[in-house]
């Protein structure tokens, strides 16, 4: 199922919610960059197992070797946006309807083929110009104490009602852990798989009766509730006002308000001593400039003999180094200030600046593929309810693209997801 099959630009694109999206790059510089983008795109796609249908006044031109399909309805706009804004323009061209997935409805499959070849889509000889062409993240998005709450609010304070429409009843917004082969996962297994993921983390850090547990990044309370039912006392911190509000309600409904406290607190301000620390897919919001501070904080508040488990979305080290100063579509529309670490970067920063030592990583990246697919299916099925919450057609396309773009990353292996357990080298 797709959200929009039309050559007409989405009517809300010029609204105040999407400043500049209605403006197609123009002028001599845009024309030159569009021609370059057309040549590079055509050369790249023609060696990939995809099908791209380019609509022209005189017919349709087919590119690619066959596979998941994309349809470019407005090639001039498509290449103008890519030429001037690279991958941001590629995503924005989808938001405006300049291109769409084909009748196979496999946007994620199409993007996965591109993601698998991302390092070579642009000829190596041209990649040295990346620092000249690629935009740098705006200073206001740097994940400092001043900016972090606004960055988090951009995504997590959209609407609790929105997230409830497409997440499972646990309201877990991270990779699930399915039993057996994730390729055989069923949507009805998602809630159980989310609790399996949580239970594995709690087991890794030894949460039981009397454990003093710190959670960094509360979500909507699922992990805290699960830990409290094991007998732990839980302090969970977040920067999302909306998440805290609903988490408090869910914790009260579970009768666990005496065992769990949910606080608006930046991780840098944490004090106290905890037997165990967990953090589920929060490190992606820390920003590479603050990874040292993040892990030094964990080391500082971890009690002697304690353990830490961090679930982290990661990317290859070389790509992390190449892109850490690049402003992306995800930064602009989904997660301001975010940055995926590499396993090497995490290991290096903990070894260099803390007493924490990472144990063998546990991979669940392939489990994110069905997790994201199930979220996207639910989101599309609830499209009328999403619109009723006040979200427009551009948002619908943005969210669908975000979920499928993310699925493509995991399906291609370009990004991974790991549960990382840390203990102190000397056992202290």
Q: Are 216 and 302 in contact (CB under 8 A)?
A: no
Does residue 249 form part of some domain? yes
**Residues 38, 159 within the same domain:** no
Query: Is 154 a residue whose pLDDT tops 90?
Result: no
User: Which long-range contacts link 384-390 to residues 24+ away (Cβ below 8 Å)?
Assistant: 385/165, 386/162, 386/165, 389/159, 389/161, 389/162
Q: Per-residue pLDDT averaged across 26-52, rounded?
A: 93
**Residues 97, 195 within the same domain:** no
Q: Are 289 and 404 in contact (CB under 8 A)?
A: no
Share of the chain above pLDDT 90, in %: 79
**Which residue, 110, 134, 158, sits at the end of a domain?**
134
Range of the domain at 316: 140-424
Q: What is the rounded CA–CA span in Å between residue 60 and residue 22? A: 25
Domain total in the chain = 2
Q: What is the rounded CA–CA span in Å between residue 18 and residue 107? A: 22
For the four alpha carbons of 200, 191, 336 and 118, in that order, the dihedral sign comes to positive
Does residue 191 form part of some domain? yes
Does residue 322 form part of some domain? yes
**Residues 244, 311 within the same domain:** yes
Does residue 2 form part of some domain? no
**Which residue, 90, 106, 134, sits at the end of a domain?**
134
pLDDT tens by residue, 298-338: 999 999 999 999 999 999 999 989 888 888 899 999 988 88
**Residues 117, 171 within the same domain:** no
**Residues 94, 236 within the same domain:** no
**Residues 158, 244 within the same domain:** yes
CATH of the domain at 93: 3.30.1050
Structure tokens given for 75 = 């090639």
pLDDT tier, 156 (very low <50, low <70, confident <90, very high otherwise): confident
pLDDT tens by residue, 195-226: 999 999 999 999 999 999 999 999 999 999 99
**Residues 58, 184 within the same domain:** no
- Element at 214 (helix H, strand E): strand 212-216
pTM recorded for the entire structure: 0.91
**Residues 407, 322 within the same domain:** yes
**Which residue, 75, 99, 134, sits at the end of a domain?**
134
Q: SS3 of 279, please? A: strand
């Amino acid at each position: 199922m797709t959200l929009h099959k039309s050559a007409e630009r989405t009517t809300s694109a010029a609204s105040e919610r999407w400043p500049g999206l209605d403006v197609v790059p123009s002028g001599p510089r845009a024309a030159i960059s569009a021609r370059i983008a057309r040549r590079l795109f055509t050369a790249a796609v023609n060696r990939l197992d995809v099908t791209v249908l380019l609509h022209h006044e005189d017919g349709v031109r087919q590119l690619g070797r066959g596979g998941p399909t994309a349809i470019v309805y407005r090639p001039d706009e498509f290449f103008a946006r890519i030429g001037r804004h690279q991958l941001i323009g590629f995503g924005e061209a989808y938001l405006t309807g300049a291109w769409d997935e084909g009748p196979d409805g496999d946007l994620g499959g199409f993007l996965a083929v591109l993601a698998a070849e991302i390092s070579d889509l642009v000829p190596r000889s041209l990649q040295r110009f990346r620092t000249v062409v690629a935009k740098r993240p705006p200073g206001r998005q740097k994940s400092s104490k001043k900016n972090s709450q606004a960055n988090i609010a951009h995504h997590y304070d959209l609407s609790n009602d929105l997230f409830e429409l497409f997440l499972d009843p646990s309201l877990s917004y991270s990779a699930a852990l399915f039993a057996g082969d994730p390729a055989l996962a069923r949507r009805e297994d998602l809630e159980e798989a989310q609790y399996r993921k949580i239970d594995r983390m709690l087991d890794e850090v030894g949460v039981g009766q009397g454990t003093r547990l710190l959670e960094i990044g509360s979500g909507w309370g699922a992990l805290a509730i699960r830990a409290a039912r094991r007998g732990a006392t839980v302090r969970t911190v977040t920067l999302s006002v909306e998440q805290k509000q609903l988490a408090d309600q869910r914790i009260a409904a579970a009768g666990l308000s005496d065992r769990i406290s949910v606080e608006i607190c930046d991780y840098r301000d944490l004090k106290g001593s905890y037997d165990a620390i967990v953090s589920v897919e929060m490190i992606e919001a820390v920003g590479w400039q603050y990874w040292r501070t993040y892990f030094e904080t964990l080391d500082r508040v971890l009690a002697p003999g304690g353990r830490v488990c961090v679930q982290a979305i990661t990317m290859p080290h070389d790509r992390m180094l190449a892109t850490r100063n690049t402003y992306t579509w995800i930064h602009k529309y989904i997660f301001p200030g975010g940055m995926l670490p590499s396993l090497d970067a995490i290991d290096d920063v903990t070894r260099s600046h803390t007493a924490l030592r990472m144990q063998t990583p546990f991979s669940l990246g392939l489990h994110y593929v069905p997790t994201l697919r199930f979220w996207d299916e639910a989101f599309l099925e609830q499209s009328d309810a999403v619109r009723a919450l006040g979200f427009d057609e551009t948002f619908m396309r943005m969210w669908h693209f975000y979920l499928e773009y993310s699925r493509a990353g995991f399906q291609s292996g370009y990004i991974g997801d790991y549960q990382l357990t840390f203990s102190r080298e000397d056992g202290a």
